[in-house]
């Protein structure tokens, strides 16, 4: 930073007066210029007037990275560009199997039937009349981090945090407890599973154990204060805190209560984990403890040695984050990072660590531990515990590599 020893108020005012511009600025959306340079002395020109809806500064554009499948796809949250824990709703990651349906809220109905005393349909107004509850929590796609599955031979080095793990976002969600609705219909005692069904063109279906309904499942209609975004399930989605994203079924239209899982195509053809024994483990819902350093990271080049803040995100589907440890020597020694408030269960926790980079090439990384003592595994630990083919639930430690020229790249290849 620049040190000007002779700065005075007089000099400041003089400088300002010299920089007055003509004040002619082209006005775009929300009154901001999209094309011309801003006035140098903004104190001499009336600024943009209030508006019904704010928009970003033209200097602060930000977007999700879109990936296409045929015919659908996904978009990823640019984690390295965000601070704190809340993801703005228009930057929340999206994943759907047959596009985003357009649903008229006035025609919306949620059906609950099966092993119940009173099959019922609920309108959106019906759902909003029940006692409401809000919760800040993360949603992570089960396939998040798939580009770096450690059985791959092509783990990229030139990958940003958002490209790596951006199928992960955090919002404040508001809705009604699923247990409230299940009591309303009178779920029978022998019920042990229920089907959650979406009304998208993939008719997304998952079988969920009843215990999750009695624990903390929500049926939500709001996200970060306002109505759900279309790609997040407008007008209503299921929310299963801490569980893989696909189980929080969007555009929710039906629950069927049963005494066995439904064995939908999502469960028989996908969302199960092949193990080294040759067997398949099904219904592996919970997202394990995980952390990711978002800064510094690829493609940053540190301009020199000295103090740099390591900054990142940690989360666990099992509960609260208990600690995050940092290694700046390739995993040989570890030191605790500072965890920032609020630290909430099944939610994202921001951590920071003051790092004095000595200018040498090294690997630096973070390791999360949750309140149940579960720890983010190394590649070797994950291989031993799960076998080589961990495609879903990839929560292995994510190292970054820094070279002597300050260039940072993704460093998992070095650990594999």
Site for a second copy in 247-266 (CB under 8 A): 251, 254, 256
Q: Which of residues 298-317 bind a second copy (CB under 8 A)?
A: 308-309, 311
Q: Which of residues 70-89 bind a second copy (CB under 8 A)?
A: 71-75, 81-89
Q: Is 9 in the site for a second copy (CB under 8 A)?
A: yes
x/- string (CB under 8 A) for a second copy, residues 216-245?
Answer: -----xx-xxxxxxxx--xx----------
CB atoms within 10 A of CB 62: 12
CA distance 247 to 213: 12
Structure tokens at 228: 């759900």
Cβ proximity to a second copy, 41 vs 157, nearer residue: 41
Q: Is 341 in the site for a second copy (CB under 8 A)?
A: yes
What backbone torsions phi and psi does residue 88 show, to the nearest 5 degrees?
Answer: -55, 140
* Smallest distance from a second copy to CB 129, Å: 7
Q: How many residues does the chain have?
A: 416
Cβ proximity to a second copy, 71 vs 278, nearer residue: 71
Give the distance from CA 45 to its chain's centroid.
Answer: 40
What backbone torsions phi and psi does residue 245 show, to the nearest 5 degrees?
Answer: -55, -40
* Smallest distance from a second copy to CB 342, Å: 5
CB 348 within 8 A of CB 381: no
Which region, left, alpha or beta, applies to residue 203 given φ > 0 means left and ψ of -120 to 50 means alpha? Answer: left
Q: Which of residues 21-60 bind a second copy (CB under 8 A)?
A: 25, 30-33, 37-40, 42-60
Q: Among residues 14, 29, 129, 360, which is the contact residue for a second copy, using CB under 8 A?
A: 129
CB 354 within 8 A of CB 311: no
Q: Among residues 94, 244, 273, 325, which is the contact residue for a second copy, using CB under 8 A?
A: 94
Q: Among residues 21, 111, 157, 300, which is the contact residue for a second copy, using CB under 8 A?
A: 111
Nearest Cα neighbor of 205 from 243, 244, 253, 173 is 253
Q: Which of residues 175-204 bind a second copy (CB under 8 A)?
A: 199-201, 203
* Smallest distance from a second copy to CB 91, Å: 7
Structure tokens at 215: 């624990």
Structure tokens at 353: 């660590």
């Amino acid at each position: 930073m620049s040190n000007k020893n002779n700065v005075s108020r007089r000099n400041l005012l003089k400088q300002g007066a010299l920089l007055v511009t003509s004040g002619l600025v082209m006005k775009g959306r929300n009154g901001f210029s999209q094309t011309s340079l801003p006035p140098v002395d903004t104190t001499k020109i009336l600024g943009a007037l209030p508006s019904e809806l704010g928009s970003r500064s033209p200097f602060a554009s930000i977007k999700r990275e879109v990936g296409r499948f045929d015919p659908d796809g996904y978009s990823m949250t640019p984690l390295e560009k965000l601070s704190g824990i809340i993801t703005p709703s228009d930057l929340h990651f999206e994943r759907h199997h047959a596009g985003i349906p357009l649903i008229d809220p006035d025609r919306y109905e949620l059906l609950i039937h099966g092993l119940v005393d009173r099959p019922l349909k609920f309108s959106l107004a019906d759902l909003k009349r029940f006692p409401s509850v809000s919760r800040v929590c993360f949603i992570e796609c089960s396939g998040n981090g798939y580009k770096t599955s450690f059985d791959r031979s092509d783990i990229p080095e030139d990958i940003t945090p958002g490209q790596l793990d951006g199928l992960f976002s955090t919002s404040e969600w508001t809705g009604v407890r699923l247990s409230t609705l299940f009591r309303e219909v009178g779920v029978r005692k022998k019920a042990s599973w229920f089907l959650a069904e979406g009304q998208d063109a993939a008719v997304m279906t998952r079988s969920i154990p009843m215990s999750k309904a009695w624990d903390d499942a929500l049926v939500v209609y709001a996200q970060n204060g306002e109505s759900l975004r279309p790609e997040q399930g407008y007008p209503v989605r299921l929310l299963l805190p801490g569980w893989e994203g696909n189980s929080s079924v969007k555009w929710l239209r039906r629950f069927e209560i049963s005494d066995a899982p439904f064995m939908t195509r999502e469960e028989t053809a996908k969302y199960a984990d092949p193990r080294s024994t040759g067997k398949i483990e099904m219904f592996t819902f919970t997202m394990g403890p995980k952390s990711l350093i978002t800064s510094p990271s690829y493609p940053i080049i540190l301009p020199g040695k000295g103090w740099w803040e390591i900054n990142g995100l940690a989360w666990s589907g099992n509960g609260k984050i208990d600690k995050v440890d940092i290694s700046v020597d390739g995993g040989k020694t570890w030191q605790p990072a500072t965890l920032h408030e609020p630290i909430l269960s099944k939610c994202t926790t921001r951590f920071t660590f003051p790092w004095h980079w000595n200018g040498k090439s090294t690997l630096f990384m973070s390791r999360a531990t949750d309140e149940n003592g579960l720890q983010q595994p190394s590649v070797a630990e994950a291989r031993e515990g799960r076998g080589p083919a961990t495609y879903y639930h990839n929560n292995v430690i994510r190292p970054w590599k820094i070279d002597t020229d300050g260039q940072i790249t993704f460093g998992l290849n070095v650990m594999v």
